[in-house]
Structure 1
């Protein structure tokens, strides 16, 4: 019987070519869209799920409230050790520090070996890091000793091959690596690479004890900063693994006790907490992003995409239902004959469901090819690392589930309609030309209305998202980033070379201004510090965002000075500028009131000499934070910005100016690669997720409209065929009127 059902199904597939083609096309497009979105959602949700004890791993981060609200993904340097010594129920504590833009060479001197471009996947980690994340396999060295001494480094297998060529892991042991020409370490271990779906994609693990004995300590304020409980930097990260019996609530209470014990000298109005972030939530975190090649995922966006995928599939099924029920009149005699010959309703239902399954199978084959092509075509809008891999349990289960769901969803109602015909009526062909009854006709119309309503909703949603992105990209940030070029000189050279380069570039005709600073007004990096301020009644604590600037910073970025004066030339911090948000947080109503008042940092008082207008230091999604501008030591100001006289990025004058800048670069940094970005392009990266979502929504809208239209076309063509006599009576009617 089953063989007979499939034989009839293929025969009918060829018999009704137009309707079969429309059904296959609609289902194939709907399933392919659903498949691509499934792969995207599954890819995002599979990050860091391979760790054996993933449900017991948490990140500890810092939250301020009370006087101000702020979140920092990092932790004060002494806290991990305190957790290890004073908190129970913790199996392992992995403290590490992140570093970026490190120049790497092999051997004691740069000239002796290969030199690699700036790397951003280097951390200084405690040995227990590999106890927290025990999914690494040791190919050479041992986890107990590899990071137990200073000036040691553990590499991933791919990184070892990148540095030393195609050698055996054990052969890499004892090799020397030089970071920024000033930190020489010895390879003490090689571990396997983690799967690509990870946010912890570090490649170089320098022993944590190296920090205190090298220039690495400068990133946390030196040896004193390593002891400071009130200093929080996002580069200081800690992950912990709870033991199997400990609940997070228990550890949270112990962390609260640490706050009471060690934050005794802080303002009582300032509330400090150390929440726990589950490893599973890391992919969706907007703070402390480690995998800088990937924007964080958004749970709501993924859920919305999953909903859109389901509705696209539903639209394709509606096409099938409408055409199948409309076609029921043509098959009424077939149903009547089968019933007269003893066919039961159950047998007829199974036959029609079998036909639907065959059509769905054919559509599924086409959809796989379409999905693969779509992923190639839309590659730039999809997350990095997303591949078309159907040979995994999740993808195979999804395909089987879709095949079964579509076959039942699209085929069940038409099967009931067709199998419900009474033999006598069916054989006399007295069925309504509008379907098998008024109920079927109204359902068909309702489904068509639903199809186009959903399509219109997608159009509206796409337009809204597009306008939001356009608004955010064109909104006033509070500073001018037009024609501002941004680049980072090599870290390992003397800081004075940056001054030399800026002086040379400043003389160029096409350059209007040059600034040496720590980072641009809007950037991914966050550097916050705790300041004391003597209020009217008592000393208060405030956390401010800090940006290292110079005297040219305000003019180059057109930042408005509301009161006071600009910073004066200096070789270290001597005075501050604050923004309007900081002004309000300090309790002042007018900018003039803050001038001459002092902010206290590390028991040293610095005067406030000016107030600048608020500007956005992050995307428009985030509120403007209280901010301090100060002239930091030249060694900490590692970036240069140039204001160009021309605003045309592709003009001849721009190209000529940048060629001159590159010549100056080569004169100061011979042999170093010259790379630059535009600040407005860096700002646009804040909205990569929105842009990606907008493109996907646009594609989904086009698919929904196309599926709905081909379904409507099939329905209209069928109706025209059924009303041939009526059309012949109006032989002189125009084709448009007939349609």
Structure 2
């Protein structure tokens, strides 16, 4: 029976190969898009799952009345380990701000992501050097490991895992470092590194004022996490209150709490961080599902539209004794064959598109992998789409009454027309949502690219340095050497650059009002180099000797945070120092458009600050190449500690990376919108062909009675236009809600424009008229005699 059903299925598919090609082609394209998206979603949502304690690991963060942060002080981990029995292990990690150049003879590498962690954190995060994780012997000892690829680059002939000595920094520095072995660093984890250093203990001598570590804990299975959060908060407050007698400070400490963030959330949706990647992943998942829905609707619609061609076949089979269940199985077999062929084509298309997809998202996905979840996902999807796209058409076709269809009356009935029209409306509605989403994303990205950032990133070069320039007198001779190069306008150094990275934060007080605000340690010419506008007062200047001691410049958000009237000349206290405000600069978007501008204080000397190593140079555009060539040549003289290791990046390119996730979404939306329109239009084309063929005799009669070609085209287009208008009316409110939710992820965003909704209506209307008119044109131009000669 199966073989007979299969033969009948293949014969029918070949007889209607035009419609079959549209069905299979549309479904294959949608499936290929779906395959790529589910592979990406699976990749992004499975970070850290290889960790055996995946479900019992949490990051500890701090909550203040005005902000939340994942950074914690180093003593907190030890206090948690000692006082809370629910916690098996507690450890800390710290990201290094330096890029270290390591050398072995002629071979050299640059460690751009150097991670320090204590032994407990290494165990919690399942860090595994080749040969196994060892505990450092002494209290102050460290074990240093390099990534596998870098280790091979430095020691291409190495065959063992014995320690090696490498040079660090410039070739003339004389500094060496011991590399204890190699480590696998291409793990599927939110913790990334190309070199790590494992210590018995980190942060020795640093108190609760040094909030630049990340704390991880491993809890016992079954632990009440909410209760544990409360206990850690109480412990943290108790630690902060030790020796504190000031009532106001004690009251402020009571407002501080902690939170626990599961390891499963840290990559996509951290509690103290940006959850845009998670929202984009949800959006991509929705796109993949909608693409599949459109294809299934197209498939179902075409199957129903062809029902009349199979009516007599069904009637004859039923008269000869065929049961409805047998006919349903036969039609499902036909649909399964089409879905199976579409799946094979989808795999081929996905494989062809995969390199471009990997390049877009900077990942390395592969379809042909035994560990790939597609092994079980694709058969499930194949069965689902067979049932979803085929069960109703199969029931409709198998349910025809022999007495009706054998009399030839079926073609005149309205059987299933309501569902057919509804599905076409839904199909176009989804395509309209894609079009509106695409236009809205384009508008927001255009706004982000053209909006005034408050600073100028173009023509600014960021030089990577290993030299610490905390004191202005240390950087002054370097600045003088740099500025001797023709074409260099200004040079400065700071603890951080406006590339979207988080600044440090600390508590500052103004007239009894205490708040945690960001701090950035800078040097002279920082604001001039970045063209940051001065609102009132002045900027730092060597003419004022007190500027290197206790002067500060704050931004507009800091003025608003403390509600300072006439800020110039007022005093802010922080880091056990009184800062005199000498100027106020206008707010600028250093952290992109998704995060609000933070209240920030800028100072030349800050005892709580990070080392100043980020060199920024303003260079004339016409002399950029020449200046960079000279800098590379003379860098050993300009900055001897870095020597020949001259490394730079353009600030505008660094800042542009903040748009990367949205640009990825834009690219995917563009592709899916085109595919949705293509599938919807191809379905409309096939459907228009069916409708037109069914009205050939009617068209012939109307032409004989004097109807013009234009009148007939209007008649045929009218019903389709009604469905397109209805699709727009249904899709608009849904699209409005979805794009509004997406825009809410940006602090600085456009007002939702009307243009995308208007364009969606125009595009779908024009496509509908062109598609239907092209198909109907053949019937309109045909001679009435050919259609009526047998009547």
Confirm or deny a common fold (TM above 0.5).
yes
Say whether 1:659 aligns with 2:625: no
Match of 1:247 among 211, 221, 224: 224
Query: What is the aligned partner in structure 2 of residue 8 from structure 1?
Result: 8
Please show how residues 167-566 of structure 1 align to structure 2 within 5 Å: 167-168=158-159, 171-180=160-169, 184-188=176-180, 190-191=182-183, 193=184, 196-208=187-199, 226-233=205-212, 236-264=213-241, 265=244, 266=249, 268-269=251-252, 271-285=255-269, 298-389=277-368, 391-392=370-371, 394-432=373-411, 437-491=413-467, 499-533=476-510, 535=511, 538=512, 540-566=513-539
Residues 233-290 of structure 1, C-alpha deviations (whole Å, 9 max, x = no match): 2xx112110012422123212212222212224352352222111000011146889x
1:645 deviates by 3.1
Residues 320-345 of structure 1, C-alpha deviations (whole Å, 9 max, x = no match): 11211121111122111211111011
Secondary structure of the structure 2 residue equivalent to 1:361: helix
Query: What is the aligned partner in structure 2 of residue 638 from structure 1?
Result: 613
Query: What is the aligned partner in structure 2 of residue 615 from structure 1?
Result: 588
Residues 107-139 of structure 1, C-alpha deviations (whole Å, 9 max, x = no match): 7xxxx574322x1332222112232134x5564
Query: What is the aligned partner in structure 1 of residue 96 from structure 2?
Result: 99
Query: What is the aligned partner in structure 2 of residue 115 from structure 1?
Result: 108
Match of 2:121 among 116, 122, 129: 129
Whether the 8 Å CA contact 1:140–1:173 is kept in 2: the answer is no
Say whether 1:680 aligns with 2:652: yes
In structure 2, do the counterparts of structure 1 residues 467 and 635 end up closer, same or farther at CA, with 3 Å as the change threshold?
closer
Match of 2:693 among 721, 724, 727: 721
Match of 1:599 among 573, 594, 598: 573
1:159 deviates by 4.8
In structure 2, do the counterparts of structure 1 residues 307 and 19 end up closer, same or farther at CA, with 3 Å as the change threshold?
same
Match of 2:144 among 153, 163, 171: 153
1:404 deviates by 0.7
Distance in structure 2 (CA, Å) of the matches to 1:528 and 1:494: 18
Whether the 8 Å CA contact 1:148–1:207 is kept in 2: the answer is no
Secondary structure of the structure 1 residue equivalent to 2:461: strand
Residues 573-621 of structure 1, C-alpha deviations (whole Å, 9 max, x = no match): 53211122222333313334xx1424232x3333222222222231222
Distance in structure 1 (CA, Å) of the matches to 2:27 and 2:649: 44
Structure 1: where are the runs of 5+ without partners? Answer: 213-222, 290-294, 647-651
1:87 deviates by 1.8
Bigger CA drift: 659-668 or 399-408? 659-668
1:348 deviates by 0.2
Whether the 8 Å CA contact 1:105–1:177 is kept in 2: the answer is yes
Secondary structure of the structure 2 residue equivalent to 1:408: helix
Secondary structure of the structure 1 residue equivalent to 2:261: strand
Query: What is the aligned partner in structure 2 of residue 39 from structure 1?
Result: 39
In structure 2, do the counterparts of structure 1 residues 421 and 653 end up closer, same or farther at CA, with 3 Å as the change threshold?
same
**If the length of structure 1 is used for normalisation, what is the TM-score?**
0.86
Distance in structure 2 (CA, Å) of the matches to 1:543 and 1:555: 26
In structure 2, do the counterparts of structure 1 residues 721 and 75 end up closer, same or farther at CA, with 3 Å as the change threshold?
same
Whether the 8 Å CA contact 1:164–1:172 is kept in 2: the answer is no
Query: What is the aligned partner in structure 2 of residue 57 from structure 1?
Result: 57
Secondary structure of the structure 2 residue equivalent to 1:543: strand
Distance in structure 2 (CA, Å) of the matches to 1:166 and 1:240: 40
Distance in structure 1 (CA, Å) of the matches to 2:528 and 2:586: 13
Please show how residues 83-94 of structure 1 align to structure 2 within 5 Å: 83-94=80-91
Residues 539-569 of structure 1, C-alpha deviations (whole Å, 9 max, x = no match): x533221112122112222222233322233
1:367 deviates by 0.5
Whether the 8 Å CA contact 1:560–1:613 is kept in 2: the answer is yes
Structure 2: where are the runs of 5+ without partners? Answer: 711-772, 779-791
Residues 297-352 of structure 1, C-alpha deviations (whole Å, 9 max, x = no match): 63332222222222211111111112111211111221112111110111000000
Match of 1:586 among 557, 562, 571: 562
Secondary structure of the structure 1 residue equivalent to 2:410: coil
Secondary structure of the structure 2 residue equivalent to 1:339: helix
Whether the 8 Å CA contact 1:141–1:190 is kept in 2: the answer is no
Match of 2:638 among 658, 668, 672: 668
Query: What is the aligned partner in structure 1 of residue 713 from structure 2?
Result: none
Residues 77-101 of structure 1, C-alpha deviations (whole Å, 9 max, x = no match): 2111111112221111122221143
In structure 2, do the counterparts of structure 1 residues 188 and 640 end up closer, same or farther at CA, with 3 Å as the change threshold?
closer
**Pairwise CA RMSD:** 3.1
**If the length of structure 2 is used for normalisation, what is the TM-score?**
0.81
Distance in structure 1 (CA, Å) of the matches to 2:357 and 2:148: 32
Query: What is the aligned partner in structure 2 of residue 216 from structure 1?
Result: none
Distance in structure 2 (CA, Å) of the matches to 1:129 and 1:431: 74
